[in-house]
Amino acid sequence: MRLFACLPLLILAWPFSAQAGRVLLVSKEPYWAVGVRDDNLSRACSLDQFGPAHPGDLVARFVGAEGSALLDVAKGNGVNLRDPKHLAKPREDYFFRNVGTTDCEVLVGGRTGAKATAKSAR
């Protein structure tokens, strides 16, 4: 009898399989070495006005002893990017830490004329 009580849950769960995102980058460097932190974009991400369109779909893994993290990735040309206020630049790559929280941090790769900081504020 208990088996029949659980059967609807099994039927609902069966067609859906867990899927991992695509890992674009694996590095032993600390995550903050990927680019410069942008305060304006980080604020917009914290307010849910800028971020990855599908969190977890494209990720970068930083596996070093210092600064290990899993960051969401989006491209300025629109790949995996939700940007209703058009803040992105086409030639930049965006790396998101703590997406979906008020502590969201955006690091920008490919920004020309910017000097990378030694370490983020976190």
Contact 113, 78 (CB under 8 A): no
**Residue 119, in any domain of the structure:** no
Contact 99, 50 (CB under 8 A): no
Q: What is the pLDDT of residue 114?
A: 57
Mean pLDDT by 10 residues, the chain (122 residues): 44 49 92 96 97 95 94 96 96 96 95 56 46
Q: What is the pLDDT of residue 40?
A: 97
What is the bridge-based pairing of β-strands 105-109 and 36-37? antiparallel
What are the two backbone dihedrals, phi and then psi, of residue 41, each rounded to the nearest 5 degrees?
-70, -35
Q: What is the pLDDT of residue 56?
A: 93
Q: What is the pLDDT of residue 113?
A: 64
**Residue 114, in any domain of the structure:** no
Token readout for 91 is 């030639």
3-class DSSP state of 37? strand
Q: What is the dihedral angle through the alpha carbons of 35, 37, 38, 39, rounded to the nearest 10 degrees?
A: 180
> Whole-angstrom Cα distance, residue 17 to residue 12?
11
Count of helix runs (H) and strand runs (E) in the chain: 2, 8
Q: What is the pLDDT of residue 55?
A: 95
Cβ neighbour number for residue 36 with a 10 Å cutoff: 16
Cβ neighbour number for residue 51 with a 10 Å cutoff: 24
Q: What is the pLDDT of residue 19?
A: 55
**Residue 116, in any domain of the structure:** no
**Residue 89, in any domain of the structure:** yes
The tally of domains found in the chain comes to: 1
In the numeric block, the tokens 């599908």 are attached to: 54
Structural domain boundaries enclosing 66: 19-109
**Residue 4, in any domain of the structure:** no
